[in-house]
Chain A
Amino acid sequence: MYEIISKEHFSENVVRLDIKAPLIARSRKPGHFVIVRCGDKGERIPLTIADADTARGTITLVIQAIGVSTRKICALEPGDCLTDVVGPLGRATDIQRRGTVVCCGGGVGVAPLLPIIKAMKEAGNRVVSVLAARTRDLIILEDQVRAHSDEVIIMTDDGSYGQKGLVTDGVEQVILREKVDEVVTIGPAIMMKFVAALTRKYEVPTICSLNTIMVDGTGMCGACRVTVGGKMRFVCVDGPEFDAHQVDFDEMLMRMRAYS
């Protein structure tokens, strides 16, 4: 059992949980995810690790209540336990000094982006972070992102905070004014699809982190299969990060609807 140590509400449907999982806290790297299960009859679902505290032995997950399992998990309080947490899974982000890196995240995608922002900054990159959400209340982790970025651009659909516009508008501004060496994008599949389309136009290498349907998360089931560069890849063991320009997002979007 994996105890919830602390909890914070980012918005009505988005919570941050710090979970006791000392072995994972110690071994995880930016880009890794875990599989969690809530209850003996619960699903196994993948969640990307947002942060870890080795001293406290905790990992941080940011969860949006959108389905049966995420609603259950979001309802947990400190002292409650997740039935299973296993990981770290997937391949870690390839962190290198590239020059200027734009990290763009949408919605709860900002949470798994945060450790990448930190690591990119530590590796000596100039980091411009673009955070996007529908409205002001849904912008999360702004302070932490600011602490590790050279510049932060906020985009909201309704213009209630930062600039009015989509994440792609923010990324394009940066590309038009300075040389960008790499873009990292994490968010809803549809958002990553449009970011990939934009950066393809400008020929900026782009990494995306995919969060597909999974069962075991260890390569066994193949539910997470995606087409990358015309080849079948498993998000759990070959990803979760891929060259965004090679990912068949339309197929992925279709497959995400398998159980809805």
Chain B
Amino acid sequence: MENKELNSRNAAWREDLRQAMSARERGAIPRATMNMLPPDYRIHCNEEVNQGLSEEQAVLEATRCLDCPDPQCVSGCPVSIDIPGFIKNIQRGRADLASAVLRATSALPAVCGRVCPQEKQCESRCLYNRMKKPPVAIGWLERYAADAARKADAPCPVPAERLGIKVAVVGSGPAGLSFAGDMIMRGYDVTVYEALHEIGGVLKYGIPEFRLPNEVVEAELDMLRRQGVEFVSDVIIGKTLSYDDLLDMGYKGIFVASGAGLPRFMGIEGENLIGIMSSNEYLTRVNLMGAGRPDYDTPVAEGRRVAVVGGGNTAMDSVRTALRLGASRAMIIYRRGETEMPARIEEVAHAKEEGVEFITLANPVEYLGDERGHVRAMRIQRMELGEPDASGRRSPRPIPGAIDEIEVDEVIVAVGVSPNPLIPRSIENLEVTDRGTIAVNERLQSSIPTLFAGGDIVRGGATVILAMGDGRHAAAEMHRQLQDE
């Protein structure tokens, strides 16, 4: 950051803020509570559940931050956001500058403030945890700063002078956008190719509006457009345009961030019955295609008794979507216990408030259909927890003979995804791992030197912020390589 006054810990304004209140006084301030829509209202609409913090709440929450000399929260952030730097700008009433600090390391702060698992990252490292106090609400503050800057029409960062070097991005999800944002700032001409008709990848087709409104994503995209990033939809690299076409068009570097693709199924009896679908299909129909809304052509089954198999964020998104589409019984079926669930604690809490039933330590073993081939029931094997496995989670094992039947008319399978073979298959000489992900070195460079890759096409299935971290990392590495040439 060039402007040291903006976020230097030694800046006079920041010294003053630190001196103004003792650590004890700061620690005595209770953690902010998020303003939320009431459950009985929100399950009948798609409006965002979390309404954000008011300015007053945000300034008070920012005051709680101890502005540690060696802030551990930063090391918990995959993109190393200067967390105290942006928080203290909020405290002094400069949300616009807080947003500028965020934008120095993150192309999508309004998104990250909403969907990052802060409780496992930055907030888990907050000094307050060691004092048995709740951590600073870093995620909510990030969201506050980004939203305030957006509402105030804060100017977007001005990119460096054009270098006249073209780079292409494959996929417009978090990894691709983060890469595009960094490269446009460095002065490259950036074109982002997207296979779908909408830009945004999983932010659009996957995460529902009640958690991440499309207008928030659109505002972030607009900022990138204003900075000069070009977006092209309906183009599949490897199909519509080949890798060689991109070279012929003058692209000097290509970043593949095509995301996770194929949904996994469990391979159990009856899984292809009508009414059973992947969470990808369900969420894409509703979020991307507008199914369930008037005038939209895409249909979606509106189940009464809906079971969602899985315990991740996608499972929570699916089960809460089912509620909003009118399910009278919406259930999570998860083979481990609730403490082992990978979903964000906040999402689990929201789901419970909305009336989702959690059936844990239960694993589907068979689906039963009616005469028309429509699912009517599922059989679940009750489980118990055994010893911790490689991931440290206690692994579930079946309780012999403990099988129950649950009536369902719709089942959403949210047990993960495998890498999409589309791009790896279509680019010759591109090395792929046994798992089907693109093989890269520690610089995120593939077996083709000009081609870098990151996000879920490399990781298999991870989070928005890890994908964004890859985008930043790849941008830095590609920049270094192109400069050397």
Contacts and interface: CB of A to CB of B under 8 A. Distances in A.
A232 interface: yes
Given A223-B281, A225-B272, A255-B272, A39 B289 contact: no
Contact of B278 (A83, A221, A258): A221
A255 B196 CA distance: 24
Interface string B239-276: 11110000000000000000001110101000010110
B235 A218 contact: no
A86 interface: yes
A211 to B, nearest CB: 17
Interface stretch (B290-298, B358-366, B469-477): B290-298
A257 interface: yes
A43 B298 contact: yes
Given A41-B295, A43-B289, A254-B373, A87 B236 contact: yes
Interface in B301-332: 301
Contacts of B118: none
Residue among A37, A39, A219 having the largest count of chain B Cβ atoms under 10 Å: A219
B289 A219 contact: no
A237 interface: yes
A87 B299 contact: no
Nearest to B240: A23
A225 B265 contact: yes
A89 interface: yes
Interface in A234-255: 234, 237, 251, 254-255
A119 to B, nearest CB: 19
A167 B55 CA distance: 72
B258 to A, nearest CB: 9
Nearest to B283: A221
A72 B196 CA distance: 21
Nearest to A85: B234
Contact of B297 (A43, A88, A219): A43
B265 A222 contact: yes
B298 A220 contact: no
Given A223-B281, A254-B373, A237 B197 contact: no
Contacts of B289: 43-44, 215
Interface string B186-203: 000000000111000000
A215 B281 contact: yes
Contact of A216 (B196, B267, B274, B373): B196
Residue with the greatest number of chain A CB neighbours at <10 A, chosen from B233, B267, B284: B284
A24 interface: yes
B421 interface: yes
A57 B296 CA distance: 31
A253 B379 CA distance: 25
Contacts of B301: 258-259
B297 A69 contact: yes
A5 to B, nearest CB: 18
Prevailing SS type, chain B contact patch? loop
A219 B262 contact: yes
Nearest to B425: A237
* Interface size, B (range): 35 or more
B373 A255 contact: yes
Given A86-B234, A237-B421, A257-B372, A68 B297 contact: yes
Contacts of B272: 225, 227, 232, 251, 255
Given A221-B278, A257-B373, A259-B299, A237 B265 contact: no
Contacts of A53: none
Contacts of B297: 39, 41-43, 68-69, 72
Q: A27, A72, A84, A218: which has the most chain B beta carbons within 10 Å?
A: A218
Given A218-B422, A222-B278, A23 B261 contact: no
A257 to B, nearest CB: 7
A90 to B, nearest CB: 9
Nearest to B267: A232
Contacts of A86: 195-197, 234-236, 240
Interface in A28-47: 37, 39, 41-44
A210 B323 CA distance: 34
B285 interface: yes
B420 interface: yes
A218 B299 contact: no
B184 interface: no
B277 interface: yes
B280 interface: yes
Contacts of B290: 41
A206 B239 CA distance: 26
A170 to B, nearest CB: 31
Interface in A63-78: 68-69, 72
A87 B261 contact: no
Contacts of A72: 297
Interface in B189-221: 195-197, 205
**A69, A87, A89, A215 interface centre (most CB from chain B within 10 Å):** A215
Among A86, A251, A259: residue with most chain B CB under 10 A: A86
A68 B242 CA distance: 34
13 contacts: A42-B297, A86-B235, A218-B196, A218-B261, A220-B284, A221-B277, A222-B262, A222-B263, A222-B277, A223-B277, A237-B421, A257-B274, A258-B275
Interface of B: 195-197, 205, 233-236, 239-242, 261-263, 265, 267, 272, 274-275, 277-278, 280-281, 284-285, 289-290, 295-299, 301, 372-373, 420-422, 425
Interface of A: 23-24, 27, 37, 39, 41-44, 68-69, 72, 83-89, 215-216, 218-223, 225, 227, 232, 234, 237, 251, 254-255, 257-259
Given A41-B290, A215-B285, A215-B298, 7 more contacts: A23-B240, A219-B262, A221-B285, A225-B265, A232-B272, A257-B372, A257-B373
